[in-house]
Structure 1
Amino acid sequence: VFVGCLLLSAPVFGYLGDRHSRKAMLSIGILLWSGAGLSSSFISSQYSWLFFLSRGVVGMGSASYSTIAPTVLGDLFVRDQRTRVLAIFYIFIPVGSGLGYVLGSAVLQLTGNWRWAFRVTPCLEAMALILLMVLVPDPPRGAAEKQEEVAMGGPRGSWCEDVRYLGTNWSFVWSTLGVTAIAFVTGALGFWAPKFLFEARVVHGLQPPCLQEPCSGQDSLIFGALTVATGIAGVVLGAEASRRYKKANPRAEPLICACSLLAAAACLYLALVLAPTTFLASYVLLALGELLLSCNWAVVADILLSVVVPRCRGTAEGLQITVGHILGDAGSPYLTGLVSSTLRAGRPDSYLQAFLSLQQSFLCCAFVLALGGGCFLLTALRLERDQARARAPGTGTLPRTPSTRAGLRAELTGQAASATPSQ
């Protein structure tokens, strides 16, 4: 319910964020998820459908923030500052997730009732709402580039025209497919990696077989801690590498994403292959793969902000989130489990065969990461062209007739000629 509502509402908030006050949209999002979280703590078991409905409302609130907040940062900062601020923004996603587990567990131990965890967090969300209203400005779209009217891309078009423009923006298309590959693998790992690690310890004789579910509690805790730690380190590493490397290479951002995904694919493959023989090496390689995956989040957001005109950035964020989840982590846990069950069906019923079936189903994830790396390589081929198009006057949702294409080409050629030093 949460994921479904997030997917459906992300394009809606993207559309609204491109046309109305983004500060108001963010405030509505905070009110939605804090109000839904607080009210869900008072729902009795006989009204369980209301609890699921509240989870959907929380998903809607989350969609508003994940869609609109990066576009506000894109209009407040530019170049190196933007990269650093996006890194800080994405660092707090794993930090917040980890603190949520810690706070929820602490409140449960103190009160003996899980409902109080849903009554504490709205206090923090109320503070966030006050800080948002008092401290955060609502800059004009394109303000950071100091070309508000030029960067807006002409008269306001419809949502369909925005989507049509984004469909011809190949840097956006290829980077979205790369993000989808990342989401596919992170979704599969988050669901199945603790079970895989538990079964690996059983095969190595480090853990007795489990006869009653849940079995992988310790491995879930360890993998969760690894995810938080590598998430923080990866975002910082990716953003800093992008900031430094793009001074020498204007295509640095997609190249960093491509290299990190290809290296993560190799780490995941080696972790799977070595798991039956060397458990510790498998753990280390899996953590390294998680680190490399996390290098992409801030960098991908920077790519989107640089290749899409400011007037369409909210719609672009919403579509990227929706496509990434629908084709990525929404189905990858099920597909991984389906492949594992299919492979296991024709084998003897044993812990070793269960482990090997899950290991082989995970190999698909390494292949998907390699495809994602290829998508970012294709992004690098188009990046400079789409960045120039986003900066050019009159681009955006306007129909691209032959005359406008010729005019844009002539203008870009003239800019390049004027920038060339005379001999």
Structure 2
Amino acid sequence: FQLRKLFLIVLACSSLSEVNKHTLPISSRDLVERVLPDIEQFFSISDGKSGLLQTVFICSYMILAPLFGYLGDRYNRKYIMCVGIFFWSLVTLASSFIGKEHFWALLLTRGLVGVGEASYSTIAPTIIADLFVKEMRTNMLSIFYFAIPVGSGLGYIVGSKVNDVAGDWHWALRVTPSLGLLAVILLFFVVQEPKRGAIEARPEHTLHRTSWMTDIKALCRNPSFVLSTFGFTTVAFVTGSLALWAPAFLFRAGVFTGEKQPCLKAPCDNSDSVLFGIITVVTGILGVTSGVQVSKKLRTRTPRADPLVCAAGLLLAAPFLYLSIMFAQASTVATYVFIFLGETFLSMNWAVVADILLYVVIPTRRSTAEAFQIVLSHLLGDAVSPYLIGVVSDSIKKSDSYMWDFRSLQMSLLLCSFVAVVGGAFFLATALFIEKDRHLAENYVPSGETILKVTFMFDCLF
């Protein structure tokens, strides 16, 4: 029965991930990335404005995440997810009817999409945490986080193919809202709301809720949570950049080498989006699986296994991402091989980071912790990176030529490799505190004012 509930949660998030990628996690994208060359041509926008599409969405998402985190720790999580996903479906469908004179409307709908993303990405992992414990929880989280790369990769493929068949990128945004509505129906009628922490040694009724400010202060004093959040921020930065710009970069590389024709009239050549989508699906499955399995084996040797695996994933991804960017002008095959390796190592973080948060934070603060992590990681990560990459590309570009379209974007994307190395350092620092913080969470005792209140109530009753 628990597995069935997990399957439905994964189905809901997979259907959304075809147009939204969490990381986040986390990480949230819609089909705009899959048809970006067509959108740039349709609205006649620069790289900077293209990146702004992603930034507007992420800003909305991270602003709303704390609200849903607060609600998720106090009210029925299933109903909150249903409302958010239903609203997301309507907004996504509405965005497909925007004309070329109303680029501002596309930005507006991109921002409203953040409602649905914030509703399920902050809450769904906490429901899984209340259904499973220990090793089983890690395994189930790995299944849940398959929804991110698999759904996102399918989004690249579906969006590109629908665009090719219909000859209009707007139709790419009209495919997945129906899947979102299906997810709402399944969540509403089948999934039951589990009690927070009911399956753990410290269930919800033995823990006393504190104010939102108290929760935030406690999280800020949790080194493992803070440092792993900064590490996850770098993952968001890199994945946000790649999600938006990788297909466009590969297309420009093809134009630069003479393998493709420039996009002068829609529909553009979206074959790179299809290949990138396939790579995203495969590397996501391999990365999440290998990250979880390596972490499980290392736990028998050291309790610091999880942050060490995350650090290794980022540090190994950095050189392969660098090589994929630099080889784009020489060998298309080598570029795809290095992208494959880089994304595989990058994907090792997804489930492991989520597991770290769940065992260093007490059950009554987990939705708030998820929201806090989402806000910080997106504020400094993929809310900034797509726009930053676009602005840097525009500033480097010396002329409006196909050569500089490629060169400027190539140089700006090199920033991803540097950020990945910084992320590895944050996870290495997390390893220094992980044992202590996990012990504190498992043996949490209310302090000061809370103890006095509980004692007073006990005396009054007895």
Q: TM-score range by the shorter chain?
A: 0.7 to 0.9
5 Å matches for 1:375-386?
A: 375-386=426-437
- The code of the aligned residue for 2:129 comes to G
Match of 2:316 in 1: 263
SS of corresponding position for 1:381: coil
Query: 2:229, 2:374 → 1: CA distance?
Result: 9
- The code of the aligned residue for 1:245 comes to L
Question: In 2 relative to 1, CA 50–177 (structure 1 residues): closer, same or farther, beyond 3 Å?
Answer: same
Match of 1:409 in 2: none
5 Å matches for 1:1-12?
A: 1-12=56-67
Query: 1:120, 1:216 → 2: CA distance?
Result: 20
Contact 2:84 2:120 in 1 (8 A): yes
Match of 1:358 in 2: 409
Contact 2:60 2:115 in 1 (8 A): yes
SS of corresponding position for 1:76: coil
Structure 1 window deviating more from structure 2 (103-112 vs 78-87): it is 103-112
Contact 1:188 1:332 in 2 (8 A): yes
Query: 2:167, 2:409 → 1: CA distance?
Result: 37
Match of 2:11 in 1: none
- Unpaired runs of at least 5, structure 1: 405-423
1:30-51 deviations in Å (ceiling 9; x for gaps): 3322344456678899999777
Match of 2:240 in 1: 187
Query: 1:37, 1:193 → 2: CA distance?
Result: 23
Contact 1:151 1:309 in 2 (8 A): no
Deviation (angstroms), 1:2: 3.4
Question: In 2 relative to 1, CA 106–400 (structure 1 residues): closer, same or farther, beyond 3 Å?
Answer: same
Deviation (angstroms), 1:249: 2.1
SS of corresponding position for 2:117: helix
Which of 186, 192, 211 is the aligned partner of 1:158?
211
Match of 2:125 in 1: 70
Structure 1 window deviating more from structure 2 (85-94 vs 359-368): it is 359-368
Question: In 2 relative to 1, CA 127–194 (structure 1 residues): closer, same or farther, beyond 3 Å?
Answer: closer
Among the aligned pairs, what percent are the same residue?
50
- Unpaired runs of at least 5, structure 2: 1-55, 453-462
- The code of the aligned residue for 2:427 comes to F
Match of 1:414 in 2: none
Which of 219, 222, 232 is the aligned partner of 2:275?
222
Contact 2:251 2:260 in 1 (8 A): no
Which of 234, 241, 248 is the aligned partner of 2:287?
234
Higher CA-based Rg: 1
Match of 2:419 in 1: 368
Match of 1:392 in 2: 443
Deviation (angstroms), 1:326: 1.5
Contact 1:151 1:393 in 2 (8 A): no
Deviation (angstroms), 1:206: 4.4
Deviation (angstroms), 1:168: 0.6
Match of 2:79 in 1: 24
1:163-216 deviations in Å (ceiling 9; x for gaps): 11111111111111111101111122223323433344445x442563737766
Contact 2:152 2:277 in 1 (8 A): no
Contact 2:66 2:375 in 1 (8 A): yes
Q: Is 1:306 aligned to 2:356, yes or no?
A: no
Query: 1:43, 1:272 → 2: CA distance?
Result: 34
Match of 1:137 in 2: 192
Deviation (angstroms), 1:319: 1.3
Q: How many residues are aligned here?
A: 396
Query: 1:111, 1:216 → 2: CA distance?
Result: 14
Match of 1:408 in 2: none
Deviation (angstroms), 1:113: 8.0
Contact 2:152 2:280 in 1 (8 A): no
SS of corresponding position for 2:433: helix
Normalised by the length of structure 1, the TM-score is 0.81
SS of corresponding position for 2:200: coil
Q: Is 1:210 aligned to 2:262, yes or no?
A: yes
Deviation (angstroms), 1:359: 3.1
Match of 2:300 in 1: 247
Match of 1:421 in 2: none
What is the alpha-carbon root mean square deviation over aligned residues?
A: 3.4
Query: 2:391, 2:416 → 1: CA distance?
Result: 14
Match of 2:38 in 1: none
SS of corresponding position for 2:193: coil
Query: 1:366, 1:151 → 2: CA distance?
Result: 45
Question: In 2 relative to 1, CA 216–185 (structure 1 residues): closer, same or farther, beyond 3 Å?
Answer: farther
Contact 1:194 1:216 in 2 (8 A): no
Normalised by the length of structure 2, the TM-score is 0.75
- The code of the aligned residue for 1:289 comes to G
Query: 1:277, 1:119 → 2: CA distance?
Result: 37
1:221-249 deviations in Å (ceiling 9; x for gaps): 32233223212222222122222322332
Match of 2:148 in 1: 93
Match of 2:339 in 1: 286
Deviation (angstroms), 1:100: 4.2
